């Protein structure tokens, strides 16, 4: 069954909520969680709307959500048949709470047989004039859409070649950084929304944002939480990209992995197959 009606319903319900919260963002209390990421009332509210929308069509849905505050084994996930929903209500909360920033999004991904098969990414203000961009993926059909229209993966690389390889503020350059420069790549190192960086590896948004955001030929992250990355992996699969960890091993996709309180990929690498092969041989 197509997820398109759910994606349409979520777009309709979430956009006014984002508009309302962003209209008084300076007054919104911000909590710092134990992992040093941010939490606001908006994260909780958006998560509840998404969960309610999923359960309206699938009452017994098994759901992994970032703000569910789980500390124990997700037994309902471990005993599921592989059909699981993963939610990140606001990916890029640190961007969301700053009025001048726009790189944040809501993310939903559906797993079947423990593999991501359908994904929804709503970036409420990423388009020109702070208009919304909605990106969806159907992995089995290798279909990507942008605001409802089918789109192709990025074409052959242009003169500016980019890699998303963000690091913590103040962290020193890594061995990989000069190696990437020597190979002709430019690096994005400032962390925003991990999902949106993965979107930019699968879809060319450069003509749909102002200022233009170039596509990435490679996305690399260590210790990536599943809700920050699973939808991006779905988009990558739909776009024909390769994904693995930084040793070239396929990423885990099993009941044991997804039933953890906080499933985390040790590392995530996604991009054009030839660029991933180059990366695996480069220092990192």
In this predicted model, what pLDDT tens digit does every residue of 69-93 receive, in sequence order? 788 999 999 999 999 999 999 999 8
Predicted confidence at residue 153, as pLDDT, reads: 86
Pairwise CA distance, residues 272 & 256, whole Å: 29
Predicted confidence at residue 39, as pLDDT, reads: 64
Predicted confidence at residue 135, as pLDDT, reads: 98
Provide the edge-to-edge strand list for the sheet that holds 143-146.
Answer: 63-65, 84-91, 105-112, 115-127, 131-138, 143-146, 149-151
In this predicted model, what pLDDT tens digit does every residue of 24-56 receive, in sequence order? 888 887 777 655 565 678 889 999 999 999 999
Domains delineated in the chain:
4-281 (3.30.540.10)
Pairwise CA distance, residues 245 & 40, whole Å: 31
Predicted confidence at residue 58, as pLDDT, reads: 96
Contact call for residues 98 and 205 (beta carbons, < 8 A): no
Contact call for residues 41 and 235 (beta carbons, < 8 A): no
Nearest by Cα to 198 from 249, 224, 233:
233
Task: List the chain pLDDT tens, one digit each, 284 residues.
Answer: 678 899 999 999 999 999 999 998 888 877 776 555 656 788 899 999 999 999 999 999 999 998 887 889 999 999 999 999 999 999 998 899 999 999 999 999 999 999 999 999 999 999 999 999 999 999 999 999 999 999 988 877 777 899 999 987 778 888 999 999 999 999 999 999 999 999 999 999 999 999 999 999 999 999 999 999 999 999 999 999 999 999 999 999 999 999 999 999 999 999 999 999 999 999 98
Reading the block at residue 134, the tokens are: 């909605």
């Amino acid at each position: 069954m197509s997820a398109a009606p759910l994606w349409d319903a979520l777009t309709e319900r979430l956009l006014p909520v984002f508009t309302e919260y962003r209209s008084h963002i300076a007054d919104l209390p911000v909590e710092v969680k134990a992992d040093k990421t941010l939490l606001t009332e908006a994260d909780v509210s958006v998560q509840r709307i998404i969960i309610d929308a999923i359960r309206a069509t699938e009452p017994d849905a098994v759901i992994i959500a970032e703000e569910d505050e789980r500390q124990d084994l997700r037994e309902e996930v471990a005993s599921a048949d592989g059909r699981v929903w993963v939610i990140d209500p606001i990916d890029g909360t640190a961007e969301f709470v700053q009025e001048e920033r726009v790189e944040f999004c809501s993310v939903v991904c559906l797993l079947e047989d423990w593999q991501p098969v359908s994904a929804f990414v709503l970036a409420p203000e990423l388009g020109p004039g702070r208009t919304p961009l909605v990106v969806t993926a159907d992995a089995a059909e290798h279909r990507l859409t942008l605001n409802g229209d089918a789109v192709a993966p990025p074409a052959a690389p242009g003169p500016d070649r980019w890699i998303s390889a963000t690091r913590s503020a103040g962290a020193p350059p890594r061995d990989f950084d000069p190696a990437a420069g020597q190979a002709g790549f430019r690096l994005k190192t400032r962390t925003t929304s991990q999902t949106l960086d993965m979107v930019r590896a699968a879809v060319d948004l450069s003509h749909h944002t102002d200022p233009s955001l170039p596509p990435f030929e490679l996305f690399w992250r260590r210790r990536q939480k599943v809700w920050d990355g699973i939808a991006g992996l779905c988009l990558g699969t739909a776009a024909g990209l390769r994904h693995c960890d930084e040793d070239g091993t396929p990423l885990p996709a099993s009941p044991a992995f997804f039933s953890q309180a906080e499933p985390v990929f040790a590392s995530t690498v996604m991009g054009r197959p030839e660029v991933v092969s180059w990366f695996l041989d480069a220092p990192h």
